[in-house]
Amino acid sequence: MVVTRRLLAWLRALGRPVLARTAKRRGRRRRPAQPGRLPLARNGSASRAPGRACLEALTTAALALPGLAASAEPRDELRLQYGRYEEDDRRLPGVQSRFDPIDVDYLNLGATVGLLDRWNFSLDYFQDTWSGATPIASAPQSLFGNRASAPDGVSGATPYVVGDLSFDGDFQVLESDLFGTLTGRPDPGLVHTLSSASPETRKEVDFGLDYAWDDATLAGKGGISVEPDYLSGFARLEGGIDLARKRTRLELGTTIARSAIDSHLDHDAVPYLDFSSYAGEIHNRRSGSPVLRETRTDWTLDAGLRQILTPTTRISTSLRYERSQGYLANPYKAVEVAFIDPEQQFLAPPGGYYGSVHALLERRPDERNQLIWSTQLLQDVAAIHGALSLRYALAHDDWGIDAHTLEAQWRQQLGTTWLVTPRFRYTSQGAADFYRPFLVSQQAYQTVVSDPDGNILSITPFDPGLLPGDYSGDHRLSAFGVVSGGIALQKRLFRGFVLDLGFEYSRYAGSLRLGGGGEASFTRYDSWLVNASLRIDLATLALVREGDRERGRAQGSAGVGAAGSEADGHAGAHAEGHARAEAGAASVHGAGHAPAGVMYAHALPRAGDFMIGYRTMYMRRDGDIVNGSKALSDGEIIAGACGAAACSSAGESMAHQMHMLDLMVAPTSWLTLLLMPSYVDQEMRLRALDGAVPDVHANHDHHATGGFGDTRFGPIVGLLHRDHYQANLALIVSAPSGDTSVRFRRDHQSERGFVHYDMQLGSGTWDFVPALSFQGEHGRLRFGAQTSATIRMEEEGPTGYALGDEAQLTAWGGARLTDWLGVTLRALYTHQGRIHGRYDRPIVVRTPHDLPGNSGGELFDLGFGVAVGIPRGAFEGMQLSLEWIQPVAEDFRGDQLERTGTLAATWGMVF
Least spacing, CB of residue 236 vs other proteins, in Å: 6
* Residue closer to other proteins (CB basis): 444 or 509: 509
At 623, phi and psi to the nearest 5?
Answer: 120, -140
* Residue closer to other proteins (CB basis): 132 or 349: 132
* Residue closer to other proteins (CB basis): 224 or 459: 224
Lay out the site mask for other proteins across 387-426 (x = CB under 8 A, - = otherwise): x--x-x--x-x-x-xxxxxx----xxx-----x-x----x
Of 696, 706, 623, 709, nearest in space to 661 by CA: 709
β-pairing verdict for 497-509 and 216-227: unpaired
Q: Which positions from 763 through 782 interact with other proteins, judged by CB under 8 A?
A: none
* Residue closer to other proteins (CB basis): 516 or 569: 516
Least spacing, CB of residue 257 vs other proteins, in Å: 5
Give me the numbers of helices (H) and strands (E) for the chain, helices first please. 7, 43
Q: What angle is formed at CA 438 by the lines to CA 434 and CA 439, rounded to 5 degrees? A: 80
Least spacing, CB of residue 167 vs other proteins, in Å: 21
* Residue closer to other proteins (CB basis): 308 or 664: 308
Q: Which helix (H) or strand (E) holds 528?
A: strand 525-537
**CA-based torsion, 422, 428, 432, 437: positive or negative:** positive
Lay out the site mask for other proteins across 41-80 (x = CB under 8 A, - = otherwise): --------------x--xx--xx-xxx--x--------x-
Q: Which positions from 429 through 488 interact with other proteins, judged by CB under 8 A?
A: 429, 432, 476-477, 481-483, 488
Secondary structure (DSSP) of 187-230: ---EEEEEEEEEEEEEEEEEEEEEEE-SSEEEEEEEEEEEETTE
* Residue closer to other proteins (CB basis): 55 or 793: 55
Least spacing, CB of residue 307 vs other proteins, in Å: 6
* Residue closer to other proteins (CB basis): 58 or 665: 58
Q: Which positions from 705 through 724 interact with other proteins, judged by CB under 8 A?
A: none
Structural contact between residues 148 and 335, judged by C-beta atoms closer than 8 angstroms: no
* Residue closer to other proteins (CB basis): 19 or 53: 19
* Residue closer to other proteins (CB basis): 204 or 341: 204
Q: CB neighbours of 297 closer than 8 A, spacing ≥ 6?
A: 256, 257, 258, 259, 324, 325, 326
Least spacing, CB of residue 182 vs other proteins, in Å: 26
One-letter identity of residue 9? A
The whole-angstrom separation of Cα 897 and Cα 855 is: 10
The whole-angstrom separation of Cα 580 and Cα 577 is: 5
- Residue 312 touches other proteins, criterion: CB under 8 A: yes
Structural contact between residues 102 and 86, judged by C-beta atoms closer than 8 angstroms: yes
Q: Which positions from 77 through 106 interact with other proteins, judged by CB under 8 A?
A: 79, 81, 83, 85, 102, 104, 106
> What is the rounded radius of gyration, in angstroms, for the C-alpha atoms of the chain?
32
* Residue closer to other proteins (CB basis): 488 or 733: 488
- Residue 24 touches other proteins, criterion: CB under 8 A: no
* Residue closer to other proteins (CB basis): 307 or 669: 307
- Residue 386 touches other proteins, criterion: CB under 8 A: yes
Least spacing, CB of residue 41 vs other proteins, in Å: 22
Least spacing, CB of residue 691 vs other proteins, in Å: 36
* Residue closer to other proteins (CB basis): 282 or 390: 390
Q: Which positions from 842 through 901 interact with other proteins, judged by CB under 8 A?
A: none
* Residue closer to other proteins (CB basis): 443 or 511: 511
Taking CA atoms, 59 is separated from 56, 70, 235, 247, in Å, by: 5, 18, 36, 13
Q: CB neighbours of 707 closer than 8 A, spacing ≥ 6?
A: 105, 129, 199, 679, 680, 681, 738, 739, 761
Q: Which positions from 492 through 521 interact with other proteins, judged by CB under 8 A?
A: 500-502, 504, 508-521
What is the CB neighbour count within 10 angstroms for residue 741? 14
Member of 45, 96, 447, 533 binding other proteins (CB under 8 A)? 533
- Residue 558 touches other proteins, criterion: CB under 8 A: no
At 233, phi and psi to the nearest 5?
Answer: -135, 150
- Residue 677 touches other proteins, criterion: CB under 8 A: no
What is the CB neighbour count within 10 angstroms for residue 707? 21
Bridge partners of 423? 409, 486
**CA-based torsion, 640, 642, 644, 646: positive or negative:** negative
Least spacing, CB of residue 3 vs other proteins, in Å: 16
* Residue closer to other proteins (CB basis): 8 or 401: 401
- Residue 313 touches other proteins, criterion: CB under 8 A: yes
Q: Which positions from 319 through 378 interact with other proteins, judged by CB under 8 A?
A: 320, 322, 330-332, 370, 372, 375-378
Least spacing, CB of residue 771 vs other proteins, in Å: 34
Least spacing, CB of residue 331 vs other proteins, in Å: 8
Least spacing, CB of residue 603 vs other proteins, in Å: 31
Q: Which positions from 207 through 266 interact with other proteins, judged by CB under 8 A?
A: 221, 223-225, 227, 229-230, 232-234, 236, 238, 245-247, 253, 255, 257, 259, 261
Structural contact between residues 655 and 618, judged by C-beta atoms closer than 8 angstroms: yes
Indicate the SS3 state at residue 527: strand
The whole-angstrom separation of Cα 419 and Cα 424 is: 16
Of 741, 657, 648, nearest in space to 701 by CA: 648
Least spacing, CB of residue 387 vs other proteins, in Å: 4
Bridge partners of 864? 825, 884
Least spacing, CB of residue 890 vs other proteins, in Å: 37
Total residues interacting with other proteins, rule: CB under 8 A = 130
Taking CA atoms, 518 is separated from 131, 141, 505, 662, in Å, by: 28, 19, 21, 48
* Residue closer to other proteins (CB basis): 405 or 443: 405
The whole-angstrom separation of Cα 57 and Cα 568 is: 40
Q: Which positions from 108 through 137 interact with other proteins, judged by CB under 8 A?
A: 108, 128, 130, 132, 134
* Residue closer to other proteins (CB basis): 238 or 758: 238
- Residue 138 touches other proteins, criterion: CB under 8 A: no
**DSSP 8-state code for residue 708:** E
CA 231 to chain centre: 16
* Residue closer to other proteins (CB basis): 404 or 553: 404
The whole-angstrom separation of Cα 159 and Cα 162 is: 9
Q: Kindly give the interhelix angle for 17-29 and 538-559, rounded to the nearest 10 degrees.
A: 70
